[in-house]
């Protein structure tokens, strides 16, 4: 037992130094390489030192000559964070001494566990398998793992690079915002993941074309047609992409889009109509010359979203003339003139656009309810 400890005392620093050299010599982490391949000539002297040292030690200990049969693969192993990694190493029953190393640490020397990490254990099958199992793999487990197999003649190593992947996760995204038209807006979407996730933006309008932005989406002088639901997607092909949304409301002052004047004979119901677009939704007022109109005897003002209708139940001679529709919100005001014409005055009663039939029917039915016709 004492001799056993002494061997470790020499072997560990020796191996430590060698692996430190290897790591330092290969940029981007140690990758697959064969210690016997022609591509490893620069490391030849390291191996020479290694072999000499280890051979000396094991020779000293007096192990018999044994053959080695281990997995040749020196590939990357890709594993998702939280999963269990099994890094395989196969030996045959003639092997003298085996060890698992992680970077510059010894994890297992034979069956002796050196690592203090409770997630780490060995998977053995008789004497033929000497695999390393790491449960609940985390990002700091990423790196090279070496199964070191010793014989008197030829120590060999099997090296695997463990790549730990983490699904994309958006941890911070802009809050929903309301801005005025013309403002500069920056939306942010910050995500973690391994490999680094790619972040893409779309405005979920019918075309939903990808927008030019990554973590930050800059919108210079935002227009009303750029309002809506923005989708931020973080993807790294590890799992389904993470998606978050930002609602952007763009305020703008009213614009009167449609007006409808009326040509109504005395005794009939006259209807004037006015439609405005605005965010926030506009408020409407009606004026007869300078006088504000309200729901009084014979006059009814209806507001249906962005449209307002002025109904005069029983048109008289005095009602003919100029009316004004005023649409306003906190960003501005716009007004338009409409006319109630005497029939035969030959005026074009249409405003800037026509009223759709369905809307017209809806308004007519409202009027009917109001005037109990």
Ligand X SMILES: *[C@@H]1O[C@H](CO)[C@@H](O)[C@H](O)[C@H]1NC(C)=O
Residue number with CB closer to ligand X (309 or 338): 338
Whether residue 69 contacts residue 92, with contact meaning beta carbons closer than 8 Å, is answered with: yes
Minimum separation from the CB atom of position 16 to ligand X (A): 11
Minimum separation from the CB atom of position 59 to ligand X (A): 29
Minimum separation from the CB atom of position 3 to ligand X (A): 27
Structure tokens at 246: 């930002």
Whether residue 306 contacts residue 278, with contact meaning beta carbons closer than 8 Å, is answered with: yes
Q: DSSP string of 255-307?
A: EEEEEE-EE--TTS-EEEEEEEEEESPPEEEEEETTEEE-S-TTEEEEEETTE
Phi, psi for 257 (deg, rounded to 5)? -90, -35
Minimum separation from the CB atom of position 287 to ligand X (A): 6
Residue number with CB closer to ligand X (63 or 341): 341
Residue number with CB closer to ligand X (117 or 215): 117
Residue number with CB closer to ligand X (76 or 255): 76
**Within 13 Å of residue 248, how many CA atoms lie on the same side as its CB?**
30
Rounded distance, CA 304 to CA 318, Å?
27
Whether residue 149 contacts residue 48, with contact meaning beta carbons closer than 8 Å, is answered with: no
Q: Which of 232, 254, 244 is nearest to 181 (CA)?
A: 254
Q: Which positions touch ligand X (CB under 6 A)? A: 31-32, 75-76, 102-103, 105, 107, 115, 117, 120, 134, 140-141, 161, 163, 184, 220, 267, 289, 314, 316, 322, 324, 337
Minimum separation from the CB atom of position 102 to ligand X (A): 4
Minimum separation from the CB atom of position 306 to ligand X (A): 22
Minimum separation from the CB atom of position 262 to ligand X (A): 15
Rounded distance, CA 127 to CA 115, Å?
21
Minimum separation from the CB atom of position 75 to ligand X (A): 5
Whether residue 202 contacts residue 209, with contact meaning beta carbons closer than 8 Å, is answered with: yes
Residue number with CB closer to ligand X (178 or 184): 184
Residue number with CB closer to ligand X (36 or 140): 140
Q: Is the peptide bond before 280 cis (omega within 30 degrees of 0)?
A: yes
Rounded distance, CA 120 to CA 145, Å?
13
Minimum separation from the CB atom of position 198 to ligand X (A): 17
Residue number with CB closer to ligand X (26 or 163): 163
Q: DSSP string of 33-70?
A: --TTSGGGGGGHHHHHHHHHHHHHHHHHHTPPP-----
Q: Which residue has the tokens 């002052």?
A: 253
3-state secondary structure of 326: strand
Give every CB contact of residue 289 below 8 A, 6+ residues apart in sequence: 321, 322
Residue number with CB closer to ligand X (71 or 76): 76
3-state secondary structure of 113: strand
Residue number with CB closer to ligand X (67 or 314): 314
């Amino acid at each position: 037992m004492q001799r056993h400890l002494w061997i470790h005392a020499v072997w560990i620093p020796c191996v430590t130094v060698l692996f430190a050299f290897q790591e330092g010599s290969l940029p981007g982490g140690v990758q697959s390489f064969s210690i016997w391949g022609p591509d490893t000539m620069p490391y030849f002297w390291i191996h020479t030192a290694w072999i000499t040292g280890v051979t000396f030690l094991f020779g000293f200990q007096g192990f018999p000559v044994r053959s080695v049969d281990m997995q040749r693969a020196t590939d990357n192993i890709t594993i998702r964070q939280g999963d269990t990694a099994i890094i395989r190493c196969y030996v045959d029953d003639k092997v003298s001494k085996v060890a698992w190393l992680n970077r510059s640490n010894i994890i297992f020397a034979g069956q002796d566990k050196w690592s203090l990490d409770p997630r780490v254990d060995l998977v053995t099958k008789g004497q033929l398998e000497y695999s390393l199992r790491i449960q609940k793999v985390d990002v700091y487990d990423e790196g090279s793992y070496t199964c070191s197999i010793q014989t008197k003649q030829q120590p060999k190593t099997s090296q695997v690079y463990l790549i730990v992947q983490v699904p994309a996760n958006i941890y911070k995204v802009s809050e929903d915002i309301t801005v005025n038209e013309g403002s500069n807006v920056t939306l942010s979407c910050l995500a973690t993941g391994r490999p680094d996730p790619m972040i893409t933006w779309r405005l979920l309008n019918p075309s939903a074309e990808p927008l030019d932005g990554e973590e930050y989406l800059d919108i210079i002088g935002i227009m009303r047609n750029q309002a809506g639901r923005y989708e931020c997607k973080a993807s790294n092909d590890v799992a389904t992409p993470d998606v978050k949304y930002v609602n952007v409301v763009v305020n703008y002052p009213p614009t009167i889009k449609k007006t409808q004047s009326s040509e109504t004979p005395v005794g009939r119901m006259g209807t004037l109509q006015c439609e405005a677009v605005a965010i926030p939704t506009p408020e409407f007022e009606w004026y007869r010359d300078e006088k504000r109109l309200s729901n009084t005897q014979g006059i009814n003002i209806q507001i249906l979203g962005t449209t307002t209708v002025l109904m005069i139940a029983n048109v008289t001679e005095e009602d003919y003339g100029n009316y004004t529709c005023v649409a306003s919100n906190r960003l501005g005001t716009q007004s338009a003139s409409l006319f109630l014409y005497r029939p035969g005055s030959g005026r074009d009663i249409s405003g800037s656009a026509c009223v759709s039939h369905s809307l017209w029917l809806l308004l007519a039915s409202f009027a009917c309810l109001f005037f109990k016709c």
